[in-house]
Amino acid sequence: MKVFFGGSFDPVHLGHLLVARDVLEELGVEEIIFLPAYQAPLKEPHKASPEDRLHMLRLAVKEFEGFSVSSMEMDRNGVSYTVDTAQKLFEELKEKPTFLVGADSALSLHLWKEPAKLVSLARFVVIDRASKAKEVKAYLKEKFPELKEDTDYIILSVRRIDISSTEIRRRVKEGKSIRWLVPACVEEYIIKRGLYR
């Protein structure tokens, strides 16, 4: 099984990578494919360009076996809707693609574009970092009663890593160090390109 990990990655940080590694090891999946959004629908415009975010991700994952990056959403331009990506992947893979989502995102699934179509096209690995498993199960049962646990979705508890891209951008702007928050190659790239100043 391959798992697709979508997001802004503005910038990618160690929290993203540790979650992906935990999923890879816990579920024994074949590959985690990072899918940076050209523009995430429920977020403000990204601070770094699509090219810079894609490049930082490629730098971050290049030495880790089992990680790769897809530019599928970047290549489409415009707002990146998961349902469109799921449709394209479903056609390519001839099976339901599996997406990695955080518990908070899972709890807003009904607000995503064409949620009924999306859940019919895809499976989900829901990452629970704040003991929200019960809440997620109750929510999915109410909003998407057709979904079955362990078939259509899995809830996986992983370590809580308190790092955010927002904090990293703020620290760069304030001239503070981001060492140990992002991979060294990403830190070098941010400095070299003068991002988030």
Tell me the per-residue pLDDT of 93-126, one tens digit each, with 9 for 90 and over. 999 999 999 999 999 999 999 999 999 999 999 9
SS3 128: strand
Residues recorded for the chain: 197
Residue 136, beta-bridge partner list: none
Mean pLDDT value of segment 158-176: 94
Which residue reads 């490049």 in tokens?
55
State pLDDT tens for residues 132-142: 999 999 999 99
- Span 67-84, pLDDT tens digits: 999 999 999 988 999 999
DSSP-based three-state secondary structure for 156:
strand
Please state whether the predicted TM-score (pTM) of the whole model is above 0.75: yes
What would the two tokens of residue 87 be?
A: 């449709």
> What pLDDT is attached to residue 81?
94
Per-residue pLDDT at 42: 72
185 pLDDT band, cuts 50/70/90, is very high
Domains, the chain = 2-162 (3.40.50.620)
Distances (CA, A) of 43 to 8, 17, 22, 58, 144: 9, 21, 26, 22, 24
Strands, DSSP E only, in the chain? 2-7, 31-36, 67-69, 98-102, 123-128, 153-157
